[in-house]
Each structure stands twice: as C-alpha cells, then as structure tokens.
Structure 1
Amino acid sequence: MKLYNTFVLLLAASSGYARIIKKCMKKDPNFSYTKSGDIVISEPIDRNNVTITIAATSDMHGRIYPWEYAIDEADNDAGFALTDTVVSKIKEDYPNTLLMDVGDLLQGNSAELFIKYYTHPTVQALNLLKYDVWIPGNHEFNYGLSFLQRNLKHFNGRVVCSNIKYADSLKYYLLPYQIYSISGVRVAIVGATAPHIKQWEASNPDHFKNLEFLDPIESLKTTIKAIKGKYDILVGAVHISRNGEYEAEGKTGAFQIAEAIPEFDVIIAGHEHATYCDKINDTWVLEPGRYGSHVAFTKFDLVKENDHWKIVNIEAENIGTNGVTPSQRVMEKFKWVHEQSLADANEIVGKVDADFIEGVDYITSKSKVTTMPRAQIEDTALMDLINEVQTYYAKSEISTAALFNNNQNLKAGDFKRKDVAFIYKYDNTLMGINIKGENLLKYMEWTVGYYQTVKEGDVTIAFNPDFRSYNYDMLSGIQYEIDLSEPEGRRIKNVTFNGKKIDPNATYKLALNNYRFGTLTSNGWATEADVYYSSVNDPKPTIRDFIAKYTQEVLGGTISPKCDHNWKIVGLPKSFNDPATIAKIKSGEIKIPRSSDGRTPNVEPVRKI
C-alpha cells in the first residue's frame, strides 16, 4: 500500500496533476462561522396561552464593573454587574426570556488591555450570564478580524447579522437570523449592523478585508422572506441609530426599518447611545442607552388558535439600572479585570504643573459643563496639546482633533494613564496625509457645521443637534476664523499658513485620527494614496500612547498649558453674552436646552431677555 501511495504522488508531481490536487486541497481562506440550526430553549407546553420576553443590552463598551476607569470613579448606572441584577429579576418573573446584546461590546473603558486574551472578558461575561444572541457593532472591528473572529467563535450563543457578506463569494459572514423555540413558540431574531464600518475603519483595510456591509433594509427584507412561515414572533436586532447617518440619514435608521418592514413585532436598536421606546406604526422600537444604563424589555402575550400561536399583546420599556445592587457573581468573577484596569489607570506617566482650562463650562466657569463647553467656543491649551502631539509624531504641518468629552481637562498634579483616557476618550490611531488646500477648506467647512447660525438677540451660541460633537474638530498649524453670522458652507474665513493665505492647489501635511480619515475619504477629500504615515503597525499605536510618550520623552515628564489662540469665532451679535441674561442662566432661572438624547448640549440659543 505504501508503495502504491508513493507511486500516485510521484505521478501527480510529474504529470501536472500536482497543481490540480493542490487546488482541490486548498482551504477556503475565509473565516467560517459554523454554528447553525434552530435552538430549543424550552419544550412545548400543554396550554393555550404563554408569555415570552426579550431582554437586551447595547453599547456596553467594555463595562463589566460599575466603574469608569478614565476618571477612576464609580458609575452607578453602568456595567454587566448591574444589568445582570435586572435581567435576573426578569428571568425570575418570566422564565421564557431570551437575552441578547446589540453590539459595541469589545471596545472602551480599558477593554483594550485584554485584547490578547484567549477570550475577551466582555465575551466571558456574555457566556457567564448566558446571553443567547450577540449582534456585532461597528466597534467590534476596531482591533482587527483575527481578534474579532476569535471572540465570535468563543461566544456560546449565536452571532447574528444579515448585512455583512464576503465580497468574493457573497456568502454570509455570520448568521443572518436565528430561530429559537421557547415553550413551542418560534422566535426569530434577525440582525443588522451599521453599514458605514468601511468608512470608520478606512485607515485599516485589513479590519474589513473581503467584507461588504450592505443596505440593512434590503438585507433584512431578504432574510425575512427566506424564513416566512417559520416564526411566531419576529424580532429585529439592529446596531443602527434611529434615523441612520451620513448619506443614509433618514433612510436606513431603526425607525425607517420599522416603516419599511412592518412584519417586525419589535426592533431593539443600539449604536446611538440613546434611551427611547417609541411605536412606529404597529412596531415597538427601543434602545437601552449606553454602558448598561438600561435593559430593553419586551413582553409578548400569545394565545393558541387553530394550533398556531398568535400575539395578542406586546409591551415594551427600558428598565433603568441606577441604584440596583450589583450582581455578586459578576463582581466575583471579574474582580481581576477590575483590579488590572485600576492599576493601569493609576500608573503615573508625568506631572501637570497647572490646570489646562480655567472654567470648563463657558458660562458658569465650573468644572462640569451644564451650559457650553469652553473648549468648543474658544481655543484652549488642552486641544493644543493633543494637536501638538499629533503634529510631532505624524511630522505634519497641520493637525486636527476633537473634544470627545465636554468635561475633559487636565488639573495640576500627577498625570496618570486615566487622565490620558479622560482627555482622549477613544483608542484611535494616528495618521498623516497629504491634502490639497481646496479639500482642506471643504473639510473645515464641514466640521463647523456643528454650529448653528447666530442672529441678533442670541445670547449664546447653539450647536446642531444632528451633528455629533465628536465630529467637530479644531485645527492647529494654521490661523482661521469661524464666522457664525454666515450659513453653513461659508463660515471659514481668513485661513493662513505661515502668514500666507491657504493655496487651494498646494498640498499640506495633515495629522488626524483614523476615524477622521474615514470621513475625508467618504467625502472625496482624501484617498489611500494620500497617506504618508499610519501608526497602526507601531508597537503602541494609539494617540493615547503618543500623549504619554510625548510627555515622558519630549517634555521630560512635565506638561504645561500653552495656547496659541490660532482660531476664533467671529460674527457674533451685540446681544452675545448679555450680562442680565447670563446672570439668569448662572442662577438656573434659564435652562439651556439639550438634545432629546442628552448627548448634545446647548441645541437652542438663549435669547436676550
């Protein structure tokens, strides 16, 4: 037999068959998510009525303990330790409960410390708490496919998403749906995620290699058509904001999905970090906030008619976690994660010799913003520091950065890693690109769309509630003015570089984070060919890493506030900062409105009294 096998191999090698055999033996290089098939959670019951419930979390962003490591303080409405208490009570009251997470699990709150672990602690938490379903969010792709796919496999439940396919084969990347049998009732979960992941991960194409992110409505429709007649309850689980975003705004959000696909009995959403529970036509659409502040809860009452289950009542609400007792099993199981995160947060990287922003709130001068963040009204030493670091390591002429936390500041004293995380919330990487002056100006006009146009009688500057604050960037290396008396698209004035007017045809070197690069490429203001530097392959690639490194290696361990006041807002009315009206704001008699989701302060100007 051995002689025969040797002969066959020699024949193949000598006759050209080796190439054919090799091709036949070649494995599919794509990741294969092999879990499939309907799941029976509980056997059919011998009665004609039943209650099924769905509990869901979303946008946990690394929160296991109720603790915010960037400020090293307890967070009384965050973490799996709190959501588990709420879910355990739900399961006690309603044994027929399905539990799911709607994405953005693996990033945030020191989650990056555990990337190299065989199974990330947050996925360990899903398994401990017996989650049935996980919908991937956009931040799941932040650390590359190898990390993500390892954790997808290690999750004991099912990962569901209908709008991600392989570009070469058009096969589904994950399960488009999952059907569960609960007391004989067939519950179908159909998932989708935000379709802009390529844009957000544009600086790291390997993070979405060979993947296509498709229109969620069309993908959901196709999936639902394929399972027609196979479910009694149809649940949409979408990591998509209420009304979509960018070019899809008002087209493919969770509300538009409910309108386009009335077959859904409920849609549980994520991504927006908002807390809402609304009915769109006959479909409940709800989102449980962020970090574990709420658990989305939906209750279905069904009766059996002609041997088929029929929904007779649906109730939906978001159950808050503030004030609940933390789950002991979570606190015990993940004590090591908490301790390791605390140790990292309190590592000293340098000294701060003076406060960077005096009066973080523009009107009250307090350290917590209740009116307007000073750093978005005037140039500050804090934003200049971030841009200084980016300029240095990207070897650029110009830099751009955003205020990720309205309250961020550096106070005199020890400079710890938690302070770095506080002033730079995300673990973005650094890039340097060549950009034409014309495109630089277009980008600048786009980013100041964060402001509303002012008019006479306005006492305060108002922000655009439809423009996220993390998209408003402040630039260094150039001088410029923002004229808020002008409409969007005509506000950037008097832009100079080294004392000369910006040349639309000249090329400038711009430092920016990887997410903003995605914005520029999606708008046609930059391409991959314009990249001259990317930190993604550096041993410590994040802008947070560079801030710590710059403090230690360039500044000698001590940072001091410096502000060059290279930009300012102009075109303000005479009524701006009217003393009498400002006094009433300070006293609390006049409240400055916030956006409905609470994420954007100051969305309407206060008028002169």
Structure 2
Amino acid sequence: MKNIVTFKILHTSDIHGYIYPNSYTTKQEGDFGLAKLSTLIKSVKDEKTILIDSGDTIQGSPLTYYYSKQDQDNANPLANVLNEIGFDYVTIGNHDFNYGKEYLLGYLNHLDAKILNCNLLDIKTKNPFKGITEDIMIIDGVKIGLIGVTTHYIPNWEQPSNIENIDILDAFESTKKQVNSLRDKVDFLIVSYHGGFERDLETNELLTIDTSENQGSKILNEIEGIDLLLTGHQHRSLFGTRNKTIYTQPGYNAQNLAVVVIEYNKDSKSYQVLENKLLDLQNIKADQKVLDLVKEIEDETQKYLDTPVGHIENDLLILDQLDARINKHPIISLINHIQMKYTNADIALCGLANEVSGFRKDISIRDVIGTYVYPNTLVVKKMDGRTLKLALEKTAEFFDLKDGEIVVSDEFNHPKLQLYAYDMYDGIEYTIKVGNKKGERITSLTKNGITINDNDEFSVCMNNYRSSGGGDYFFIKDCEVINDTQTEIIDLLVDYIVETKDIKIPHKDNIKVIK
C-alpha cells in the first residue's frame, strides 16, 4: 500500500573504542566490537533505515588511549569505521571529551554522519559546539525528526580545559524546548540522548540519588510528543515502551544492536511498532573491511601493549573483584604510593574499574592499562578531618550485608555496575563496620596511629573525576586545589615502573572491612 511506509531505526551507544572483537587483556575473541557489529548492521540495513550512535564512541579502549598519544593530523579511526558502516547520525557522549577537544574534533570533523547536539553550545555564538540542533529525514514522504542531547553532568567529571568555551545546558530543558519546536513539523520524532534512566521503568521508583546525571525517566514522564527515545551512558541493555514512547539502550563496547521497525500510516497519521529488540553478536563474523581499515593502528597498539616495563616477584592478578576491595589488593597500595611520591601528598586514594587485570611477574604496558583503565589526571586537594570522614563514609556505602556476608550494595550493581565507586586510601588507617547504618560505618580513623580530628588538615591526592565531585562527592569538589598536575595517572604508573624496574609493593594492611 502506497500510504503505508515501513522504516527502521538501528541504534548503538557506548562503543568506547572497541573495534576488533578481541580482549586487550587475554587476546581472546568475544562477541563485541564494531567489526562484528558492522556485519550485523549491513545484514539488516536497507534504504529505509536510519542508523544512529548515541555517544561515548572514541574513548575507553587501549586502542583509543594509544591513538590519543599520537599526532592528531588524520581522521580518528573511529570516524573511518563509522563512515564505512554508514552511520547517519551521532550524538556526543561525556567520555568523548576525555582526551581533549583536538582529539574529539579529529573524530567529529571527519564524520559523514550528521552530529545532533542541542545542548552543548559555543559559549560565544550560542550555536551548537559542533553539529546541528535538529534534523528532518524524509522516507517515502514520512517526515522523521531527530534531536540529539547529552547529559549536562559533564562538568562534574571533566577537566575544565577539555570543555573550555562550551556552554552545557540542562539536558531535559533543552530536549523539551527542541521537541516543542520540531513536533508539529514531523510525523515521527526521535530523541538520541546520551544519558540513562534514573527511575525503574516498570514501577517508576527512583533508583539512585536524583542528581540529574540521568534524566531519561523525566523525559519519558514529562515531555509529550517523543515517539522514540534512544539512550545510553548506563551501559544497560533495555528496550520497551513507556507513556507511549518507545525506548532503547544497547549495552556497551558494541555488544548489541537496537532495532526498531515502524509501520507508518500516512492516511491516519499513526504508526505501530512492528519490532523493538536488541540483537547480539553470537555467530557473527567480523567485517573484514572494518578490520582492514584499522589494522595498522591496531597492530601498533598491540605492539605498544606488549612493551615490557618492569618486573615483580610474583603475579599480582586480580581474580576476585569483591575480595580485591574487602581485602585491599596490593596493587592499590602501589598506585597510591606512586601518587603520593609524585605529589608529596599526605594521603592518596584510588579505586579499581569494573574489570581489571592486575600485573603479571613481567609487567607490560598491557598490564598497566588493563589495571588502570581511565584517562584520569592527578589532583591534590586540601581536606580537613571532617571532610575526610565524610568521604570515607561515602565510600563505605559501597558494602552491604546479605545473609550475614559482606556484599556489594545493590545501588552499585543496579541500574549500572559501579565497582569503580569504591575508593581505598593510603596514608591513614581506618575501619569500616558494614553492619552499622550509613553515615556511621567508620569506627576508627587514624594517621600513624593518632586519631584524626575534624580540624586536622591534609593534602590528599586523587583523580580528577573524584576531585570534581564525580560519584556525588560534592563536598570534595568544594575543597581547595593545591596542585592540579594535568598528568595522566597511567603515565605516572608506567614512568615509575620503567624507572624502578624491580618493583617492590609497599603494601599496607591499613583498611579493615568488618561485619
């Protein structure tokens, strides 16, 4: 029927630089990566398809870390891959800023796709920092509107220099404004939002502290006229409908493809959803064209990762993520030692990412990057004893008791895995009693055996994410900066290991986590 038009939306998000389907830690093949996703996309895409990525595309893998250290004269390899696959639109993610503007522009300036961005504005012109606020694609006479928006929580995480001269507007308010502007001009309206859901999609119960980092539920509940909300940021695998709005979220590291198929009736100006699902990459072969596009930089990355840098007496692998936190892993002591040595700070803190490798006896750069996976820089802040205690109580919320055993609290498992939220400190001694109520779990706090008082002052080194209040540590954000090193912690670790060669872990059993 001429007045019935069927079209398809394919959605990816949070690719985080994964192209080859091989683990950078084990080198084993898995069901992830843009090369495999490309094969799947090309098998389901037709001339009536819109292909959209919702951001966090160019940071997160050893390949992107290695490439960020090279001269940025050419197109980012991720731009070349997205062009080969044929993406129509992209949205900017918060992590896309991590390596600075020059690196980000090396991606955005070389994309064939249109950049949808209605709330990251040039501070002088008030136009989008890059791209367009909205667009209309016409498929067989059906007008499909598209809007892109990014979580406005970026200043709570990012180095100020990386977002300099960018005015970051409220994501919800910007979406509402743009929807009101575009709704009457189109037949079907899509919002691509680099952000997630702050509420349970069934019960509408608040899942986390409502900081406005994620406003997907607020958008679903309070903005009328959105037909399809594409989300990301939380790395969840979701699809469904709420308040007449279809929604998707396709996981992370290019593990899934969201597919939405719409049948639109031009006579009644109505539509029905024929499909809304997530496809995985099981039994999918990698697209050789994509592999070939990035083979040179991938080979260079692998060679770089295998560079030997030092030696320790025994393997220090991290095999149990919970145990590595309850019984502070020696690698934490090493990282904190290096941070304090570099800054002369009194106290250091750091956490472990969701998936970390640890070190083998012969340490390579692969081990270091597999253990400290973020492009964080080191910052020193002045902190009094009261604020230090607040920070420790906050990190102690990571644990809970279940059937008499210490476990990770549900809020750090759902809706998004946040094992990185737990900080471990050196330079002090303290006890966490998990059975106590929140805010009263630190039962002892000393430095060199002497009790710390509220008015005592210390220099405390940490990554820039925590320094800027990331993880809802707003009280740390307000602390005075003593030294903003602008030096990446990964580089500090590699330099220390290269210079020291034979590494002796200065491990201290200074943290007690008890029931």
Q: Same fold (TM over 0.5)?
A: yes
Does 2:412 align with 1:492?
Answer: no
Deviation of the 1:188 alpha carbon: 1.2
Does 2:51 align with 1:99?
Answer: yes
Aligned equivalent of 1:114: 67
Deviation of the 1:261 alpha carbon: 2.0
Rg: which structure is higher?
1
Aligned equivalent of 1:450: 398
**AA partner of residue 63 (structure 1):** Y
**AA partner of residue 430 (structure 1):** L
CA gap of 1:503–1:487, structure 2 versus 1, over 3 A, is same
**AA partner of residue 411 (structure 1):** R
Could you tell me how far apart the structure 2 residues matched to 1:200 and 1:473 are?
A: 16
CA gap of 1:278–1:193, structure 2 versus 1, over 3 A, is same
Deviation of the 1:211 alpha carbon: 2.2
Aligned equivalent of 1:351: 311
Aligned equivalent of 2:110: 154
What does the per-residue CA deviation read over 1:135-158, in whole Å, with 9 as the maximum and x for residues that have no partner? 000011112223323432221211
**AA partner of residue 4 (structure 2):** N
**Residue in structure 2 matching 1:319, options 279, 289, 296:** 279
Aligned equivalent of 2:2: 47
CA gap of 1:529–1:438, structure 2 versus 1, over 3 A, is closer
Does 2:187 align with 1:232?
Answer: yes
Task: Give the 5 Å matches for 1:18-29.
Answer: none
Could you tell me how far apart the structure 2 residues matched to 1:542 and 1:390 are?
A: 11
Contact between 2:36 and 2:285, CA under 8 Å: does it hold in 1?
A: yes
TM-score (norm 1): 0.78
TM-score (norm 2): 0.91
Could you tell me how far apart the structure 2 residues matched to 1:524 and 1:261 are?
A: 29
Aligned equivalent of 2:220: 258
Could you tell me how far apart the structure 2 residues matched to 1:168 and 1:250 are?
A: 25
What does the per-residue CA deviation read over 1:447-501, in whole Å, with 9 as the maximum and x for residues that have no partner? 111112x37x513434233472211100000000001121111111211112211
SS in 2 for 1:62: coil
Deviation of the 1:378 alpha carbon: 1.2
What does the per-residue CA deviation read over 1:93-133, in whole Å, with 9 as the maximum and x for residues that have no partner? x4311111110011121202223332110111111222111
What does the per-residue CA deviation read over 1:511-530, in whole Å, with 9 as the maximum and x for residues that have no partner? 11111111279644345772
What does the per-residue CA deviation read over 1:396-425, in whole Å, with 9 as the maximum and x for residues that have no partner? 11100001145532232x211110011111
Aligned equivalent of 1:383: 332
What does the per-residue CA deviation read over 1:304-360, in whole Å, with 9 as the maximum and x for residues that have no partner? 207xx5313342111101330111111122111221111111111111221236xx5
Deviation of the 1:506 alpha carbon: 2.2
Could you tell me how far apart the structure 2 residues matched to 1:77 and 1:329 are?
A: 18
CA gap of 1:535–1:75, structure 2 versus 1, over 3 A, is farther
What does the per-residue CA deviation read over 1:499-555, in whole Å, with 9 as the maximum and x for residues that have no partner? 21112112201111111111279644345772222232xxxx3211111111122x3
Deviation of the 1:296 alpha carbon: 0.9
SS in 2 for 1:148: helix
Could you tell me how far apart the structure 1 residues matched to 2:254 and 2:371 are?
A: 23
**Residue in structure 2 matching 1:299, options 258, 261, 270:** 261
CA gap of 1:161–1:324, structure 2 versus 1, over 3 A, is same
What does the per-residue CA deviation read over 1:227-272, in whole Å, with 9 as the maximum and x for residues that have no partner? 1322111111111122179753589532331122242211111111
Contact between 1:254 and 1:285, CA under 8 Å: does it hold in 2?
A: no
Could you tell me how far apart the structure 2 residues matched to 1:404 and 1:520 are?
A: 14
Deviation of the 1:189 alpha carbon: 1.4
- Structure 1, unpaired ranges of 5+: 1-45, 361-366, 573-609
Aligned equivalent of 1:177: 134
**Residue in structure 2 matching 1:133, options 80, 89, 100:** 89
Could you tell me how far apart the structure 2 residues matched to 1:79 and 1:264 are?
A: 30
- Structure 2, unpaired ranges of 5+: 200-206
Contact between 2:118 and 2:149, CA under 8 Å: does it hold in 1?
A: yes
CA gap of 1:296–1:207, structure 2 versus 1, over 3 A, is same
Could you tell me how far apart the structure 1 residues matched to 2:365 and 2:84 are?
A: 30
Could you tell me how far apart the structure 2 residues matched to 1:523 and 1:401 are?
A: 14
SS in 1 for 2:460: strand
SS in 2 for 1:235: strand
Aligned equivalent of 2:350: 401
Aligned equivalent of 1:566: 510
**AA partner of residue 135 (structure 2):** Q
Does 2:387 align with 1:427?
Answer: no
**AA partner of residue 60 (structure 1):** I
**AA partner of residue 35 (structure 2):** A
Task: Give the 5 Å matches for 1:162-561.
Answer: 162-168=118-124, 170-173=126-129, 174-201=131-158, 204-243=159-198, 248-249=210-211, 252-305=214-267, 309-356=269-316, 360=318, 367=319, 369=320, 373-406=322-355, 408-412=357-361, 414-452=362-400, 454=401, 457-466=403-412, 468-519=418-469, 523-526=473-476, 530-536=480-486, 541-553=487-499, 555=500, 557-561=501-505
Does 2:144 align with 1:144?
Answer: no
- Alpha-carbon RMSD: 2.2
Contact between 1:68 and 1:109, CA under 8 Å: does it hold in 2?
A: no
CA gap of 1:549–1:509, structure 2 versus 1, over 3 A, is same
Could you tell me how far apart the structure 1 residues matched to 2:406 and 2:393 are?
A: 21
Could you tell me how far apart the structure 1 residues matched to 2:446 and 2:272 are?
A: 66
Contact between 2:430 and 2:512, CA under 8 Å: does it hold in 1?
A: yes
Q: Percent identity?
A: 26
Deviates more, 1:344-353 or 1:172-181: 172-181
Could you tell me how far apart the structure 1 residues matched to 2:208 and 2:151 are?
A: 11
Could you tell me how far apart the structure 1 residues matched to 2:220 and 2:299 are?
A: 43
Could you tell me how far apart the structure 2 residues matched to 1:378 and 1:252 are?
A: 32
SS in 2 for 1:465: helix
